[in-house]
Structure 1
Amino acid sequence: MKPSIPKGTRDFSPTEVANRSYIMNAIKTTFETFGFQPIETPSFENSATLMGKYGEEGDRLIFKILNSGDYLAKADTTLLSEKDSLKLTAQISEKALRYDLTVPFARYVVQHQNEITFPFKRYQVQPVWRADRPQRGRFREFFQCDADVVGSSSLFQEVEFIQLYDTVFTKLGLVGTVIKINNRKILSGIAEVIGAQDKLIDFTVALDKLDKIGTAGVVKEMLSKGITEEAIEKVQPLFDFSGTNLDKLSSLERMLETSEEGIKGVEELRFVINTVAQLGLDTADLEVDVTLARGLNYYTGAIFEVAAPKSVAMGSIGGGGRYDDLTGIFGLKEVSGVGVSFGLDRIYLVLEELGLFKVVDLPTPKVVFLNFDAASDILKMKAIKALRTQGVKSEFYPDLGTSNKQQKRQWKYVASRGIAFVVSEVFDGNFTLKDMLTGAQEAVSLAVLIEKLK
C-alpha cells in the first residue's frame, strides 16, 4: 500500500519546522511582553464541553472520537436501523477533538477558578481540528495561537489586543495588514431595527460571508433562513458601507437611533477607535467593517478579524472578540472575557509568498566526530560528553568507515549538514580538528578542543 496522510493534514520538513518556530516565537515573546501566561489543555475534550458552543455549522465540523471497545454494543438498535447519525453519535462517542482553544479555556477557568488571580491573562499555542473541506489556507489540523483576558470588562483590553496584533505583524515584517473591527451589539441592533431579532444568528452568519459569496449570495442565504425581503431591503446599505471609521460610526448611529443595544455598541467601538488613534499603530491599519460577524455564537461585544496585505490572496490570518459570559455555560456567571487568535498556518503561507522568512539556521551540531577507527570510539564519546556539558552541540557518526567509499560517505554527511568543525581521528591523546570553512587542521588536547569549540 502506498503511504499517505489524511486530507487536510501535512508533514513538515526541518526547514518548515524552523520557519514555524520562528513565527511561534515571535508570537509567544509578544504575548509575554504584554503580560500573558502560558497554559495547555488536552487535545480532546468531553463532547458535552464542545457541542452547542459553535452554532449549528461549527458543531458539524467537530471531529468525534468513537468510544473504546465495542462502541456499538450499547447503541439503540432502532437508531441503527434508521441510520439516525445525529442521535446515534451521542451513544457511540463521548469525546471529541477540540475545535478551538477558547471553549476549552473557558472550561479551564471554571475548573481552576480558585487557583486563578483575576483578571487572568493566558496564552495558548496548540493544534486544533476541524472536519472542514480542505483548501489553500484551510486545514483539518492546524495550530492556533490564542491570547485571552478573563475577569475584566474594560475596553482597554480591546485596545491592547489591537496593539498586540500590530506588534506581532511588525515583528514578522508583515506590513499592510488590516485589523477589521465590529461589535456584536451593533449587529443585534441592526437585527432589532429591521425586525429580525429572532433571526440574529442566521442574519450574522450570512452577513459574515459577504466577502466570500457576494451580496447576491448573502441575500439568497438570508431569504432561505426566513428573513423577509423587507428586512433585507433595510439592511442593504451595509453591503456597501464607505467612508472613514468615524463616518461609518456616525452612519450607524443614525441607523440605530431606536436601538439601545445598537447605540451602546457604537459607543464601545468609538472608544476603541479613538484610543487606538491616539496611541498609533506601527504597520497595521484599523478598519470598521459592519459586515464582520464571525460565525461563533459566544461573541457579545467587539469582534476582530485580521486580513493579510492585499497583494496576497488569503483569508483571515487572525480573529477574536469579546464574550461576556462564555464561562457561564460551565456554571461561572458574570466573568467577562476578550481574546484573539493568530492563524499560524495562514501566516506561514503569507510570509512564504511575500518572501519574508529570514534565513533560519536549522539545529546543527557544531562538531562531528568521524568514525574511521573503532579503537578510538570511547575517547571520542568521552570528548563529546565533555563538550555537551559545556553546551557545545556535538555528534558522533555512528557507522564505522574503514573503506574509502565509507569514509567519503561520512565527509559527504558533514558537507550536506553544513558542519563547522570535524574531528577525524585521535592519535596519542590528541584530537585532529579540522575547520571546514578555512580547511585549517591541527592536533589538540581535549582541554584545547573544548576551549576552541566553546
Structure 2
Amino acid sequence: MLRLVQPCRRILMTAVNLPRPEVRPAPQEESEFGEIVSSQRGERPDYSINNRLGTPSGFTNYTPQEATCVIDWKAKLLEVFKTYGYTGIDTSPVEYAENLQLTGGLDKQIFGVSRLQDGTLTKFGLPFDRTVPMAIYLAKHHLQMTFPYSRYDIDWSWRGETAKAGRYRAFIQADVDTVAPEISALADAQCIVTLIMGLERLGVPKCNVFLNHVDVAKSFLNDVGIPSDKQNDALRAIDKLKPDNEDDVVAELVANVPEINEDTARDLLKSMSYRGPLSGFKFSKETSVEAKAGLAHLREIEKIAQGMGIDTSIFQFAPNLTRGLNYYTGVLFETFMPGREQYGSIASGGRYDKLVEMFNPNLHLKGVGGSIGLTRLFDVMKAENLVDLTKQTTAQVFVGYRTKDELQAAIQVAAALRERGVYTELHLNVPKVKKELKIVDGKGIPFALLVMNQDEIVLKETFKKKTTEKQTDQLTFTSIEDAVAHIERLKNEGLLDRSQKSQTEIEECKEQ
C-alpha cells in the first residue's frame, strides 16, 4: 500500500488495486516508499530531519532554476493552445474511484484517498490522466456547452507505479482535446499540429510523429485469422516490439493467441514492422475496406497538417503502434526525438469515440486529444543540455538604488515598468549596489536598473555572453522617463528575455 502523508489536511493518498469503493480500515504496513504508515489514530512515523526533507521516490522536487523553466514552459504552451482556439476548464482535483476504474487497465496504478485520522479509504481517487476528468465533466455539463468543444488542460496526473527514469508517480501533462457529436480529420490534424507547435515553442528539436489507425492494425490480425476477442491481447504484445525483442513478442503472441503458430506470428510482426512515409505503404488487394479507409484518413490528416504549415516529412506510418486500445478507436500517434528514442514518447494521443458515453450512456460524443508529458520532456531536455537553467526568477529587470534617498525614485521606476508589462523585481533590503548586483547575477536577471541619484539611472546588461564572464554593457540615463522608455523598447523588440546561456549554445546541443 502506497501512502503519501499530508499532515495539514490529515489525508492519505493510497495506490492500491482498488475494489469497488467501500469504507474500510487500512492496516499498518511498509509502503513502496520504504516508510511505515500506521492506521492507528494519532500515530505517525518517527521521521528524522533528513527523512522529512527528502523527496519521496517518484516525485519531482525542482530547484529554483528548474521550477522557473517549467513555469515558463507552461506559459508558452498556454499561449500556443489558445492560439489554436482551445479553452481551459478546471476539473475537480479528485474523482470518484469507481469512475476512474471504468476505462480499465490502470486499477493497480490508481491513487486512492484515505483519511489519516482513522485510516479509512474514501470513495475518491486521483486522476491518472487529464482526459478522463474532462470526459466526466462533459458527461455532467454537456447541456450547458456548445459543441464542438476544444479545451486545454495543464495539470498533474497520478499513477502508483514503480518509479524509474522517465516514470513518475505524479507528473504534469499538457493536454488538448476536441469533442463533438461528429468530428473529422480536421480535428485530428489540428490536435497533432497544436502539439507539434507547442514542442517547437519549447525549443524541442525536430521530432518524428508516428501515426497509426486502429482499423489498420486490426486488419493485419484479421488477415492471419486472429479472432476479435483475442485481438486486444495480440495488439498489446505487438506494441512491445523493438529491434532486439522479437523472440519475446512472438512467445507472448503464441501463448495468448493459440490460433496462430510461431511462423505466423513472425510473419505478422514482419508485416507490421513498417516504419516510413504513408505514401510508401501499400495494402494487399484482399485488405478490408475499413483498413483502407483508416489509411486514407491518415493521409488526409497529413495533407491538412501540411496546409497548416507543418513539414510532413516528420510523419511516419507505424502499423505496430497500438497502445491505448482501452479507449482509442481510430487514429493514434506518438512523438519521439530522432536519436533520442530511448527516452520514450514525449507527446501522444488519438481518437476516442466512446469515452464520454462510459460515464453517460445516453450521450454520444466523439473526441480526439493529445498530451505532452511535460515532466518527462523536461528530464529529456535537461539531460541533453537543451534547457536554460541560469534563471531562478521570471523577473526581466531588477530595480536597485544606491541609498535610502533614492528609494522613492526606484519605486517610481518599478511601478512604471510594471505598468508596461515588464516583469520587475524591486530590491527589498538595505541598499548596497555591490550586493544588489550579486543578487541579479545569482538569479540570472537579464537587466538591472540602478538609481544612483535623481539625475543618474544606470542600466546594466547582466547576462553573460559566450565569450565573456562579466557584464560589459552599461548605459546611463538622466531621467526616469528615458530609462523606462529604453526598457520598453527592449520589450517591444523581444530582448528582455536574454539569458546567461546563449541560444547558440542551445542550438549546438540540438545538432549533436
Name the TM tier (shorter chain): 0.7 to 0.9
Of 196, 221, 225, the match for 2:252: 221
Query: Do the aligned partners of residues 287 and 68 (structure 1) sit closer, same or farther apart at CA in structure 2, a change above 3 Å counting?
Result: same
Query: Partners of 2:137 and 2:210 in 1: how far apart?
Result: 29
Q: CA deviation at 1:169?
A: 4.0
Query: Partners of 2:79 and 2:477 in 1: how far apart?
Result: 42
1:380-433 Cα deviation digits (max 9, x unpaired): 6854674466345554544437xxxx7754453344344522235x6xxx3753
Partner of 1:117: 146
Contact 2:410 2:451 in 1 (8 A): no
Query: Partners of 1:166 and 1:441 in 2: how far apart?
Result: 43
Partner of 1:291: 320
- 1:413 equivalent to 2:410? Answer no
- 1:61 equivalent to 2:109? Answer yes
SS in 1 for 2:249: helix
| Aligned residue runs from structure 1 range 15-94, under 5 A | 15-55=65-105, 58-67=106-115, 69-72=117-120, 92-94=121-123
Partner of 2:260: 230
Moved more, 265-274 or 390-399: 390-399
Q: CA deviation at 1:5?
A: 0.8
| Aligned residue runs from structure 1 range 175-254, under 5 A | 175-193=205-223, 194-211=225-242, 214-224=245-255, 226-228=256-258, 230=260, 233-241=263-271, 242=274, 245-246=278-279, 248-251=281-284, 254=286
- 1:346 equivalent to 2:385? Answer no
Query: Partners of 1:53 and 1:407 in 2: how far apart?
Result: 60
Query: Partners of 2:262 and 2:162 in 1: how far apart?
Result: 29
Query: Do the aligned partners of residues 382 and 408 (structure 1) sit closer, same or farther apart at CA in structure 2, a change above 3 Å counting?
Result: closer
What amino acid maps onto 2:208 in structure 1?
Answer: V
SS in 1 for 2:260: helix
Query: Partners of 1:14 and 1:284 in 2: how far apart?
Result: 38
Of 437, 458, 462, the match for 1:434: 458
Contact 2:86 2:151 in 1 (8 A): yes
What amino acid maps onto 1:304 in structure 2?
Answer: F
Query: Partners of 1:291 and 1:451 in 2: how far apart?
Result: 58
What 5-or-longer segments of structure 1 have no aligned partner? 73-91, 258-262
Structure 1 length as normaliser, TM-score? Answer: 0.78
What amino acid maps onto 1:63 in structure 2?
Answer: F
CA RMSD, aligned part only?
3.4
Query: Do the aligned partners of residues 167 and 228 (structure 1) sit closer, same or farther apart at CA in structure 2, a change above 3 Å counting?
Result: same
1:49-75 Cα deviation digits (max 9, x unpaired): 2113142xx221111111464244xxx
- 1:268 equivalent to 2:301? Answer no
- 1:13 equivalent to 2:72? Answer no
Query: Partners of 1:410 and 1:27 in 2: how far apart?
Result: 33
Moved more, 334-343 or 37-46: 37-46
Contact 2:139 2:363 in 1 (8 A): no
Contact 1:49 1:104 in 2 (8 A): no
Query: Partners of 2:351 and 2:62 in 1: how far apart?
Result: 34
SS in 2 for 1:135: coil
What amino acid maps onto 2:189 in structure 1?
Answer: V
Contact 1:123 1:145 in 2 (8 A): yes
Contact 1:153 1:337 in 2 (8 A): yes
Q: CA deviation at 1:250?
A: 0.6
- 1:303 equivalent to 2:332? Answer yes
Query: Do the aligned partners of residues 284 and 111 (structure 1) sit closer, same or farther apart at CA in structure 2, a change above 3 Å counting?
Result: farther
Query: Do the aligned partners of residues 35 and 98 (structure 1) sit closer, same or farther apart at CA in structure 2, a change above 3 Å counting?
Result: same
Query: Do the aligned partners of residues 11 and 68 (structure 1) sit closer, same or farther apart at CA in structure 2, a change above 3 Å counting?
Result: closer
Higher helix share: 1
Structure 2 length as normaliser, TM-score? Answer: 0.70
Higher relative contact order (CA 8 A, sep 6+): 1
Q: CA deviation at 1:123?
A: 1.4
What 5-or-longer segments of structure 2 have no aligned partner? 1-48, 462-472, 489-512
Query: Do the aligned partners of residues 46 and 232 (structure 1) sit closer, same or farther apart at CA in structure 2, a change above 3 Å counting?
Result: farther
Greater C-alpha Rg: 1
Partner of 1:322: 351
Aligned length: 414
